[in-house]
Amino acid sequence: MIVIFIFLTFTAFLSLSETAFFSLSRFTLNTYKYSKDVKKRLVFNLLSRPRELLVTLLMLNILSNILVQNTFSNIFKNYSWSFKVGIPLILVLLFGEIFPKSFAILHGKTIAYRTSYIVSFFYHILAPFRIIITFVTNYISRFMFFFLKKEKQISSEELKHIVETSNQTGVLNVDEAQIISGYLDLFDSNVKEKMTVKGDILFYDINKDINDLIDIFVEQKYFRIPVCDGHLDKILGIISLNSFFLNQEKIKSSKEIKNFLKKPLFIPETTNSLNALIKMKKRGESIALVVDEYGCIAGLVSQEDLKEIVLGNIEDIKEVKELYTRPKEDVIIADARLELSDFEDIFNVKLTSISQQITLGGWIIEQLEKIPQSGEKLEKEGFLFYILESDPKKIKKIYIRKLL
């Protein structure tokens, strides 16, 4: 009976170890990988070859179960067959499998840590037998299951479920869960789902008056605009707000805009949203033109559109009722009503005003000693002030760039 107890205990130990090792999460193993604790690194090393570890434990477990059965049968050889088979089966099932594995699920880290040396010992001792068995099983598996696709270790849906559960249990807050879920959505969506369709794209026709382009920049508050020859399928390039206003003196007519156009980035409509965002960032583009399978313009997508997938709905800059917009760190387009103190806060500067002007428009009038017309410039206090829009009574819109 003592021998049966020893074999049964060994069976329980193997079941305990198997469940404990394979219940450890990938995150736990990553922390073990760089741990200073020798046992934790040993656990990681054993699980870095999961198939070999599993074969080792299964070999020992099967051997131990056979020994329990044979020993019990020899001791009680005069009893009925059902007794000699049934009792060992129940003992192994309860004390060698169910109880140990149930306990290991609850205390996986501790058990794996404490049994690591013993498991490692058997792992190396049984290496010759394991190599033979693994070779045979791999060959048979390839022959029998060659038509089965290799499954992903974890799917996007499973990750989203983990995030949702983490949010519900308080591990992640709402914002963190939304950002992680949104990032996963980038893998599952393409640019066609987020693009502005062709009919809704705002573009500038080079055959029209140059003032139409200025109106788009000023009124619509766009920073980059597609320039076309008649229609979108004849795209010439992209004109940026900076490029246009800094070179406006050289642009006497709409035809001269061609010299300042940037080659557009074209992206197929089936492109994964994440890949599109990476490509746009790498090229330094904030917008890209989406083309269909025939190479025709299907729509336009911006970095903002793709970031909405991650961050949720970002309030479009066209709808923000602020007194200025900031396309670059050193550039703003401001309403003349912007208070001088706010402007100073934006650029961390101090402007001198003799008559204590409150608004930026009033300060510019003070410096010029007149109400400027559209197109006039002022270089003062390390800034270029370009009047975008004005009337005989007041300044309305100003382009401002900090000079180096």
Domain ranges across the chain: 2-144, 156-188, 192-318, 324-402
pLDDT of residue 312: 63
Within 240-398, where are the H helices? 241-246, 273-283, 303-311, 340-347, 360-368
Query: Phi/psi zone of residue 359: left (φ > 0), alpha (ψ -120 to 50 degrees), beta?
Result: beta
Distance of CA 334 to the CA centre of its chain: 34
> Cα separation of 14 and 97, whole Å?
9
Place of tokens 């965002």: 277
90 phi and psi angles, rounded to 5 deg: -65, -40
Count helices and strands in the chain by DSSP H and E runs: 17, 12
> Cα separation of 72 and 286, whole Å?
76
Whether 104 and 19 have beta carbons less than 8 Å apart is answered as yes
pTM above 0.85, yes or no: no
Write down the architecture of domain 192-318 according to CATH.
Answer: Roll (3.10)
Record the tokens describing residue 164, joined without a space. Answer: 């949702």
Q: Is 113 helix (H, G, I), strand (E, B) or coil?
A: helix
Whether 205 and 215 have beta carbons less than 8 Å apart is answered as no
pLDDT of residue 319: 38
Record the tokens describing residue 80, joined without a space. Answer: 């009925």
* Per-residue pLDDT tens digits of the chain, which is 404 residues long: 788 888 888 889 989 999 999 988 887 888 888 888 999 999 999 998 888 899 899 899 888 888 888 888 888 888 888 888 888 888 888 888 899 889 988 898 999 999 999 999 999 999 888 888 888 877 777 766 555 555 556 666 777 777 788 778 777 787 777 778 777 777 778 888 888 888 888 899 998 888 888 888 877 777 889 999 988 889 999 998 888 877 877 887 788 888 889 999 999 988 988 899 899 988 888 899 999 888 889 899 988 888 877 776 444 444 334 688 888 888 999 989 888 888 998 899 999 888 888 889 999 999 998 999 988 999 999 999 999 988 888 899 999 999 87
Tell me the CATH class for 324-402. alpha beta
List all residues 6 or more positions away from 110 whose beta carbon is below 8 Å from its beta carbon.
Answer: 20
Q: 192-318 and 324-402: same fold? A: no
